[in-house]
Amino acid sequence: MALDELTREFLIESQEGLDRMERCLTELEERPEDAGLIGDIFRSVHTIKGTTGFLGFKRLEKLAHAGENLLGMLREGKLTADGPITTGLLQLMDGLRSILKTIETDDNEGDAGDAELIGRLEELQAPARAQVKNARVRAGAVQARAVADSLGNSHGPAEENASEARVPAEAPVADAGHLVAVNAAEHAAEPAVPAKAEPDKAQAEAEPGKARAQSAGTAAESTLRVDVTLLNRMMNLVGELVLTRNQVLQATAHDPSLTLLTRRLDMVTADLRESVMRARMQPVSNIFSKMPRIVRDLSQSLGRKVRLQMEGQETELDKSLLEAIKDPLTHAVRNSLDHGIEPPDVRQAAGKDPEGTLRLRAVQEGSHVVIEVSDDGAGIAVEKVRQKAVERGLITADKAANLVERELLQLVFLPGFSTAAAVTNVSGRGVGMDVVKTNVEKIGGKVELESRPGKGTTMRMRIPLTLAIIPALIVHSVEQSFALPQGALSELVHVPPEQAVASIEWMEGAPLYRLRGKLLPLVFLDRLLMPEGVHKGSTEKDSFIAVLNADGRQFGLVVDGLADPEEIVVKPLSAVLKNIGLYSGATVLGNADLALILDPGAIALRAGVTMSSEEKTERGADAEDEAEAAKGMEYLLVEVAGRQAAVPLADVLRIEQLKVSRIEYIGYRPVLNFEGQLLPIEDSGAVLAAVEGNPDAQIIVVVCREGARQVGIAVSHVLDVAAGGELFEAGTSARAGGVTLLKNRVTGVVDLGGVPPLPVDEGAPVEWNQMTVEMAEAAR
Amino acid sequence: MSSVITATNRKEKAALLEMCSVRLGKTLFGVPITHILEIVGGARPQPVPLAPSYVGGLVHYRGDVLTTVSLRHLLDLPPRDGPQDILVLESSGGCFGLLVDSVGEVLTVSSADYEPNPSILDDRRRALFAGAYKLKDTLLVMLDPDRLDPIRLDSMRAVPAQAA
């Protein structure tokens, strides 16, 4: 079935035309009077018809012709695009599509008859009767003139008349009311204007056609069709380049002469990667645009009234990912219509707008695209879910009784689950949501479901922007490197050996860590990976806890060491290794080592970390705490001569590490010439005194804003950033000043206002060198 | 379970075949060179914790990550330290690497010298080997890439486990 170049181009062009037609048709439903839309649709069909005649696809030409007639009447305003007509046009589109498909696979248009469809399209032209009748008198005159013109002067400028000639020709027959006769009469009438009609129509087409050709011309110059396999190959090669770059960066890290070159290589590689990725990006509208049709057809067959809103259509996603979420999205939309949005009478009874709303929203959030399908329907009845899941034997009654709402909603994703009472042709066979979940998870995405009874359901799909390259943290365990996807990582905790005993607590064999006062279940990666091995106790070495969030489960993964974060290129594993279930792939690191990519969700599952109900309530409370804390103040935790102190983070401008020799003195007051401004240094902890006599010693100055001026605080170390809690004096509700609760320790807050201002010199402009300082001192 | 090796043998009388030889322990093994994509020398495969025991680890091969099968382990030989050679083999299930101590020369054998697996061979070895060629002074035990494919080894391992 080798298609020649011409046919192939025709197929691609026609598909694009039909896609455009589909978009216009759905818009046409909302704005049936929009002449521009009708014109667009007309042109799509007309182009197909024109080219098919040339290529000799008779069946396609006939069908397109029938559609064109109907569209012609719409365009001339003799018909209004009401429901049946739109349906007819959609059927026409489907008909054309299926013929194109046949041509693509078999290289001929097949011989299935389209008589029924053509008949329907002609039937739809009949309502023109009424309008035509009114215009009959005028039409009669026009006809006469048109015929005269066509007979007399075939080059005459009578375009208007001639194009109308077709209508009067139908008029008498329309009176008779015989639909079949319309066709016959039309054909009979055609010879009357044979020489005229076609060229005229072509000319009428020429004007808008020319305009379109121009815009198409500029588009054609700036765009190029590229084979997807070529793009895939480019993506693979870029992946290899990223690997090589990582290796070059590591190998040359100690050679300053190569720094500039490698930095350039780094930048160019990053840009190239982004460009290739961008080339694979397509707007979400490519799949969103299919939805109006689905919603329309389904709402009709289900007897729902649905308004579809779409947002963020311009959001872009990798082509292969876009393909992968097409089915899940369709499933989700079907589900919303069938199970979510109620029939109009039910909605009205519930005091809602009889017309339901289905919202599709796409938005990019960091390295993910979130696609939301939300409806304002009945929501998911969790009790019904519980009952059905038990009924279908997906879960035991005991277990079901213990599940909290959020876990119950997760049951919807189990294979074989359905709450629909009857199996309809839309849904109810129980193969909906699990397909959604597996398809989305296959591409590294996540599905979340949120539902409020009576208010509606929201399904959220989080899709990674790209599959091939992800940021990951490299961790060490069992003397090997592993990659942890950054997406799941929320924070890292360092546990020095001397603190290990105190901070890792055991509850009957279950290791736990107190993370900001909350118990975090721990999973030791070495014990998980080598259940039989001999493990060094955590008291003998440093350990790190990677706090991971996987499918709503939070746990800490204890590893032996951390390396730098890297952008890793994901390589698939063979089936045998995939079956282990802990690894989602492998990657080649900058040092040319291989590292397995850990799958946090699978680790949680393997280690038995679940969301127990107790934990969940605690989590909820914790989230509130955190939200509360966020409202409060954040502090920079510093160490000043062995004591901890806090500086309000909002006031911190920057943290400077500098040589102690840069500190100068105005009398006994230390000052810093900081970007041409004089900064008084607060040194209540005698940090400066501690390094006196050693001009090369480094000190840290935290530069803060205090009202309109800036002050510096000399500190020994900068420790952390933490949210402070308020402290109240026992028995009173008076807030204690000057202290805050940081990491469960009462910590003094540095009083910035207490830093005395520098002496003001009202004389000549000050030059900041030792001389002036002395002068200022003298003046004082 | 007709392998390429035996099938060729039955159809054409006394055809000459080229086999890559591998010595492991006391035995000389052969792999038809038509099934070898590449020989990678001096590799140090990255171990995969929790993987089936016959998996020798992962190696980076032409931009992909290749799963290797340890021939030593399959034959119950003690593991060997130091770099090993890898035969990159193509089987019906895809590519995989066969970890061997070192690859020897290519031998030309005549299909007339072929003998199927003897019946006294234990079940496991009978499942791995694809007969032998009688050389002048020794036997060249044939390895069939299809039989060494990790996916097949996995299913082989699963069956007795279920029976037990």
CATH of the domain at A246: 1.10.287
Q: Which pLDDT score, from 0 to 100, does residue B29 have?
A: 92
Q: Under 8 Å CB-to-CB from B119, ≥6 apart: which residues? A: none
Report CB contact under 8 Å: A577, B58: yes
Q: Are residues A261 and A340 in the same domain?
A: no
Q: Under 8 Å CB-to-CB from A275, ≥6 apart: which residues? A: none
Of B50, B51, B65, the CB nearest to A571: B65
Name the domain boundary from A595, A625, A655.
A625
Distance of CA B122 to the CA centre of its chain: 17
Q: Are residues A487 and A457 in the same domain?
A: no
Report CB contact under 8 Å: B58, A576: no
Q: Under 8 Å CB-to-CB from B130, ≥6 apart: which residues? A: B3, B5, B6, B117, B142, B143, B144, B147
Name the domain boundary from A434, A464, A494.
A464
Q: Which residues of A touch B52 (CB under 8 A)?
A: 576
Q: Which pLDDT score, from 0 to 100, does residue A727 have?
A: 62
Report CB contact under 8 Å: A572, B65: yes
Q: Are residues A591 and A577 in the same domain?
A: yes
Nearest to B66, CA basis, from B84, B42, B40: B40
Q: Is B27 exposed, middle or buried (0-12, 13-18, 19+ CB in 10 A)?
A: middle
Query: Which residue is it, tokens 């079940």?
Result: B123
Q: Are residues A766 and A657 in the same domain?
A: yes
Q: Which residues of A touch B93 (CB under 8 A)?
A: 575
Q: Collapsing DSSP states into helix, strand and coil, what is residue A693? A: coil
Distance CA B9, CA B29 (A): 18
Taking CA atoms, what residue in A is nearest to B45?
Answer: A594
Could you read off the pLDDT of B38-92 as tens digits, one per residue?
888 878 888 898 888 888 889 888 767 889 999 888 888 888 777 888 999 988 7
Q: What are A98-102's contacts with CB under 8 Å, separation 24+?
A: A99/A57, A99/A59, A99/A60, A99/A63, A100/A11, A100/A14, A100/A15, A100/A18, A100/A60
Which residue numbers in chain A have pLDDT < 70? 1-3, 127-221, 366-367, 415-416, 418-432, 466-468, 533-540, 551-552, 610-633, 675, 724-739, 742-744, 759-780
Distance CA A484, CA A471 (A): 9
Q: How many CB atoms lie within 10 A of CB A232?
A: 14
Report CB contact under 8 Å: B65, A594: yes
* A502-A508-A512 Cα angle (round to 5): 45
Which CATH architecture best describes the domain B4-148?
A: Beta Barrel (2.40)
Chain A interface disruption, residue of B60, B148, B151, most A CBs within 10 A: B60
Q: Are residues A446 and A488 in the same domain?
A: no
Contact A323, A359 (CB under 8 A): no
Strand stretches in B92-138, DSSP E: 94-100, 103-110, 114-115, 129-134
Q: Which residues of B touch A571 (CB under 8 A)?
A: 63-65
Question: Considering its fold, how many domains does chain A have in total?
Answer: 5
Q: Which residues of A touch B47 (CB under 8 A)?
A: 480
Q: Which pLDDT score, from 0 to 100, does residue A136 have?
A: 44
- The pTM is what? 0.49
Q: Which pLDDT score, from 0 to 100, does residue A737 have?
A: 59
Of B49, B51, B60, the CB nearest to A588: B60
Of B47, B49, B96, the CB nearest to A574: B96
Q: Which residues of A touch B153 (CB under 8 A)?
A: 576
Three-state SS for A497-535 is HHHHHHHEEEECCEEEEEECCEEEEEEEHHHHHCCCCCC
Q: Are residues A758 and A637 in the same domain?
A: yes
Report CB contact under 8 Å: A240, B151: no
Nearest to B100, CA basis, from B109, B112, B87, B91: B87
Report CB contact under 8 Å: B67, A480: no
Q: Which pLDDT score, from 0 to 100, does residue A24 have?
A: 80
Q: Is A138 exposed, middle or buried (0-12, 13-18, 19+ CB in 10 A)?
A: exposed
Instruction: Count how many residues are written for chain B.
Output: 164
Of B55, B63, B93, the CB nearest to A577: B55
Report CB contact under 8 Å: B64, A571: yes
Q: Which residues of B touch A586 (CB under 8 A)?
A: 58, 65
Q: Are residues A315 and A456 in the same domain?
A: yes
Distance CA A200, CA A31 (A): 29
Of B46, B47, B150, the CB nearest to A576: B150
Range of the domain at A713: 632-779
Q: Is B50 on the interface with A (CB under 8 A)?
A: yes
Could you read off the pLDDT of A552-596 as tens digits, one per residue?
678 899 998 888 888 787 887 888 888 888 888 888 887 778 899
With an 8 Å Cβ cutoff, the interface of chain A facing chain B consists of: 236, 239-240, 243, 478, 480, 529-530, 571-577, 579-580, 582-583, 585-588, 592-596
CA dist A772 → A209, A666, A667 (Å): 80, 10, 12
CATH code at A522?
Answer: 2.40.50.180
Of A480, A573, A580, the CB nearest to B47: A480
Q: Which pLDDT score, from 0 to 100, does residue A418 have?
A: 62
Q: Are residues A237 and A138 in the same domain?
A: no
Q: Are residues A96 and A123 in the same domain?
A: yes
Q: Which pLDDT score, from 0 to 100, does residue A467 have?
A: 64
Contact B147, B55 (CB under 8 A): no
CA dist A346 → A349, A358, A383 (Å): 5, 17, 20
B57: left (phi over 0), alpha (psi -120 to 50) or beta: left
Report CB contact under 8 Å: A577, B60: no
Name the domain boundary from A417, A449, A464.
A464
Q: Are residues A271 and A291 in the same domain?
A: no
Q: Collapsing DSSP states into helix, strand and coil, what is residue A684? A: coil
Which pLDDT band, with edges at 50, 70 and 90, does B20 fall under? very high
